[in-house]
Amino acid sequence: MSENKTLTHLMEAFAGESQANRKYLAYAKKAEEEGKLNAAKLFRAAAEAETFHALRQLEVAGKIGSTADNLKDAIEGETYEHEDMYPGFVNEAEAAGNKAAARAFTYAMKAEEVHARLFKEALENLDQAEEVFYYLCPVCGNIEKAVPDKCKICGVPGERFIKY
């Protein structure tokens, strides 16, 4: 098998393992809501295992660079999502009358714009020694550098934000 084909397989595997991780976390949340705690624990353990697989595959594929390179890659990805990908998704969901999908895409689009800006700031301040904290909205994925009164994207109260 050619090296190019192996790289393609590594990236396909990375995508599949990454998706399985998120899917299993969603399944764990549902199992917890239903009081099925053993199933929830199994889903969480499997999700973490899928993460191990994905991280190793990305590493073997040579897709993890320096922090500066990784920030540049993140900026590119987030910018693509909020400028090119999500606007079309929002328009199609609205045209189809799917308000829930349109809202989910809009929240993600607006959050990705914030993510791109924060990655740019991090790149510009890469050697900054002062510790920075980030606060994540658990509903729309918005990230702030201070706890807001409410999320600027979805309106969730600031006390629900998760500190990183």
- The predicted structure's pLDDT at residue 3: 81
Half-sphere exposure of 113 (CA within 13 A, CB side): 12
Per-residue pLDDT in tens (0 to 9) along the chain, 164 residues: 588 999 999 999 999 999 999 999 999 999 999 999 999 999 999 999 999 999 999 999 999 999 999 999 999 999 999 999 999 999 999 999 999 999 999 999 999 999 999 999 999 999 999 999 999 999 999 999 999 999 999 999 999 999 99
Max CA pair span of the chain? 56
Q: How many CB atoms lie within 10 A of CB 157?
A: 12
Distance of alpha carbon 134 from alpha carbon 144, whole angstroms? 6
Distance of alpha carbon 154 from alpha carbon 106, whole angstroms? 10
Q: Any bridge partners for residue 144, and if so which?
A: 135
Distance of alpha carbon 32 from alpha carbon 64, whole angstroms? 34
**What φ, ψ does residue 53 adopt, rounded to 5°?**
-60, -50
**Fold of the domain spanning 3-60:** Ferritin (1.20.1260)
Distance of alpha carbon 84 from alpha carbon 54, whole angstroms? 26
Instruction: With 0.85 as the threshold, say if the pTM is over it.
Output: yes
CATH of 65-130, picked from 2.60.40.1930, 3.40.50.1820, 1.20.1260.10, 3.40.50.720, is 1.20.1260.10
Domain ranges of the chain: 3-60, 65-130, 133-164
Q: How many CB atoms lie within 10 A of CB 159?
A: 8
CATH class of 133-164: mainly beta
Q: Any bridge partners for residue 157, and if so which?
A: 150
Domains 3-60 and 65-130 share a fold: yes
The answer to whether 123 and 72 have CB atoms below 8 angstroms apart is yes
Distance of alpha carbon 88 from alpha carbon 114, whole angstroms? 19
One-character DSSP codes across 18-47:
HHHHHHHHHHHHHHHHTT-HHHHHHHHHHH
